[in-house]
Structure formats: C-alpha cells, structure tokens
Structure 1
C-alpha cells in the first residue's frame, strides 16, 4: 500500500519524537499500522510525503540511485531572475558538491492553503514563485540551492514525487492507494 500525505508545516516526518515538549509527528495524522515514510520532508516544509508498508517501494522512492524526480513549488524572497533560474538548470555548487541540473521555471503564485504561521511579509521586498524539479535528495537541498543563487526560500511545498501528486489533498489529509505488483 502507498499513502499519499499532505504534511503540514511544523510536523516531523517521523512517528515519534523524544523532545520536551513533544513536537507534532506523523502519528498525529496517520493511524495506519506498519507504514513508514519513504524519504523525508523537513519540519519547515509542507506537501507530499509518501508512506508505504513495502520495503522495495520505500527503497525505490527514497534511494538516490533511483533518482525519483521531486517537484517543489518554492516561494523565494525577491524577483527571481532568468540568470538564477539558468544557474539552477545547470547545477549549483554547494558545500557538499555540485548539484545535478534541475528543471526550474518561474510560475504564478499557486492557489494553496494558508500557512500557519504565515510566511513573513515585507512590503518593500517582493517575492516570486518557481517550480523546481530535482532528482537528488540532499539535506535541505532546495533551500540551499535557492540561497546559493541569491534568492532565499520563504515557503517550500513538495508537489510531486515521481508519478504521485499532491492534487487536492488538504494539509493533514491522506489518501491510500494499492500498489500493483
């Protein structure tokens, strides 16, 4: 089975948390036994997280050698330039090496749910949105890539992993689909 989950902002991509006070986890939203997250999504990121009870499926989704493309809708600080988009398309030098080329394009502001807390707003600094598709899964990669080209990420929503899309799933909601063998 595969569970498509719209992970809300400020929720950990795991079922347990040992911190005090405890933080919100998948257990607060998913009541399906024996499923595990196939990959991670940072606590301050939102959107599609896949969970499964099949080890092979989990590996195919999360193992970088399979290069499952992941598409993010990214709100950045500033009016992103074509030059910055081209840098993302060519690969960006990060501290842990050059990223693989990404698909990057400016997009209109998507119709999304409000985020709580709201993204910071500054009247004198514009923001812009881009669609960014990567096939790696480095720690905080999208945030580091946009910062490296001069446009820090304000909001990050994972929209798609491979063939699976967030579509009409509201934050905190999930949909279960059977796996074909």
Structure 2
C-alpha cells in the first residue's frame, strides 16, 4: 500500500468504528441510563422496555411482564417466553457493547499500524493488516445481525403464547438482513 492510500484506510476504519459503535445508543432517562437495542426496545437496570401501540411493556429477567405498569398473570409457558425475549434483548446489548469496544481497539491498532509502517517504510503490507483487523470486526457485527433474527423469533414465540404482546411485536422478518447485506 502506498502512502496515498493511508488516509483512505484510516477513514474506512474510522467509519466502521462509528457505524458499529452506533449500533446501540444511550439516552438519559429519569430512571437512569437506558440502552436502545432496536428503536422500540430499551434496556435499563434489570428491565427490557418495549414500546408499541401507545403502550409500554416491561419484561424482567425472570420473564415477568407488566403492560403500562400493570403486572400480567402469566402461565409457566408465557413466563418462559418472556424470559427468552429478555435474554435475547440483553444479549444484543452485550454484543453491541463488545463491538463498540472492539471497534475502538481496532481504530487504535489501525492507527498504530499505519504510523509504524509509514515510519519504517514498510507500507506494502499495511492494507492487508488493516483488512485482517476489519474482518474480525465484521464477524462480530454479523453476530448482532444474527441476534436480531433470534430476537424476532423470541418475539414471535412470546406473541403466540401471549396475545397481549402483539402491539409490541414490531421486529419484522428480514430486519437483520439489511445489516447482513452490508457485511
């Protein structure tokens, strides 16, 4: 790689970091910090909050569900489906955080590699080194894409056993496909 391509590689790496780190957004709320997993799903404390149809459902780690603050009486099957939805949503949060950390680490590594290779006059392999780092990050991003589909399936199971959850079932089939196509 010649020195003329180096800014392009750095720009590409910075753009990837920004995209992957932005997969989850943080916003302040009266209850503390919430992490938005998908636009209508937020995680704060030990609750997953899902918005739909002008209502708000909260799902606890144990699968307990409340709609607009009113706890639902659930069968064991319904509670298990709620617990699975909770696990998939919080798993997506963890995956997104891991990508953000990996992206930041990759940006530092890329910058270090480019600077060292330019300084040492060994830029012929810089692009390959950067691409190898980017491939690792792409694979982590694909995990989030797969998690979207897994979360959608959990949503469908929950809706099948708990019809009251229907207004919150806003993850459509193929939602993760756009993400996969970019990888």
Bigger-Rg structure (1/2): 2
Q: Name which structure has the greater RCO, CA cutoff 8 Å, separation 6+.
A: 1
Q: Confirm or deny a common fold (TM above 0.5).
A: no
TM-score using structure 1 length: 0.24
**Structure number with higher helix proportion:** 2
Indicate the structure with greater strand content.
Answer: 1
